[in-house]
């Protein structure tokens, strides 16, 4: 499975686009779990994130249905190693399940993890090829055009991630430009 979150949301399974998401909440949940895969997420927290104005029992029922749709459309039930580890209490994306996530690769290339904002000092250690690949991966803003307006907490997380990833992409571009200028490759530097 591949999950593209830089630019337009896109998921592919076996090379084919996945389009059977029932709602933007399902897409938002997948994006959140994929980016925040280092953490175990309690169900009540996820329910509150996506349905903040609903009573807890209704929000948890919505989460249950949303997770069922998500697991179905990404083929998790049939997978040898499911992407989602789901229990009655919590949910977590399995980093070792073999899914490719552009945001995760972007962070690895720049020497930061998906949840970290500290990239400036690590950019000097990144190879030029890694910086170039990171810039190529940044096809647009994080979840460009996506919104869950009725969920302030999700929107806050989304805005934070957009700004963080945009800043990291800008720093990568600046680092590439500086390296080319330092070698006297001004024409190449202007391309960034």
Per-residue pLDDT reduced to its tens digit, 177-191: 887 777 877 677 667
> Edge to edge, what strands does the sheet with 41-42 contain?
41-42, 90-93, 84-86
- Alpha-carbon gap, residue 5 to 10, rounded angstroms: 7
- Alpha-carbon gap, residue 146 to 15, rounded angstroms: 23
User: What is the four-CA torsion angle of 146, 70, 62, 88, rounded to 10 degrees?
Assistant: -130
* CATH annotation of 2-97: 1.10.10.10
119 has a pLDDT exceeding 70: no
- Alpha-carbon gap, residue 154 to 148, rounded angstroms: 7
Q: How confident is the model at residue 69 (pLDDT cuts 50, 70, 90)?
A: very high
pLDDT digits (tens, 9 = 90+) for 137-148: 999 999 999 999
Query: How confident is the model at residue 27, as a pLDDT?
Result: 99
Helix (H) or strand (E) holding 93: strand 90-93
Q: What average pLDDT does the structure give for the chain? A: 91
Contacts of 120 (CB under 8 A, 6+ apart): 171
Assign 166 to helix, strand or coil.
Answer: helix
Burial of 143 (0-12, 13-18, 19+ CB in 10 A): buried
Q: Which residues of 9-38 are buried (b: 16+ CB within 10 A; e: fewer)?
A: bebeeeeeebeebeeebbbbbbbbbbbbbe
Q: Are strands 100-101 and 84-86 parallel, antiparallel or unpaired?
A: unpaired
Q: Where are the domains of the chain?
A: 2-97, 101-190
């Amino acid at each position: 499975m591949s999950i593209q979150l830089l630019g337009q949301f896109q998921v592919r399974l076996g090379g084919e686009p996945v389009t059977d998401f029932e709602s933007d909440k399902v897409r938002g949940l997948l994006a959140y779990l994929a980016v925040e895969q280092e953490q175990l997420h309690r169900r009540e927290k996820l329910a509150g994130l996506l349905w903040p104005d609903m009573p807890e029992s209704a929000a948890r029922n919505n989460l249950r249905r949303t997770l069922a749709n998500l697991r179905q459309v990404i083929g998790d039930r049939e997978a040898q190693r499911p992407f989602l580890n789901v229990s009655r209490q919590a949910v977590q994306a399995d980093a070792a399940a073999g899914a490719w996530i552009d945001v995760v690769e972007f962070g690895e290339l720049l020497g930061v993890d998906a949840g970290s904002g500290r990239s400036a000092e690590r950019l000097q250690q990144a190879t030029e090829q890694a910086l170039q690949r990171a810039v190529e991966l940044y096809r647009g803003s994080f979840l460009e055009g996506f919104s869950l307006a009725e969920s302030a907490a999700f929107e806050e997380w989304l805005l934070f991630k957009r700004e963080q990833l945009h800043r990291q992409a800008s720093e990568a571009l600046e680092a590439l430009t500086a390296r080319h200028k330092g070698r006297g490759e001004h024409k190449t530097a202007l391309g960034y």
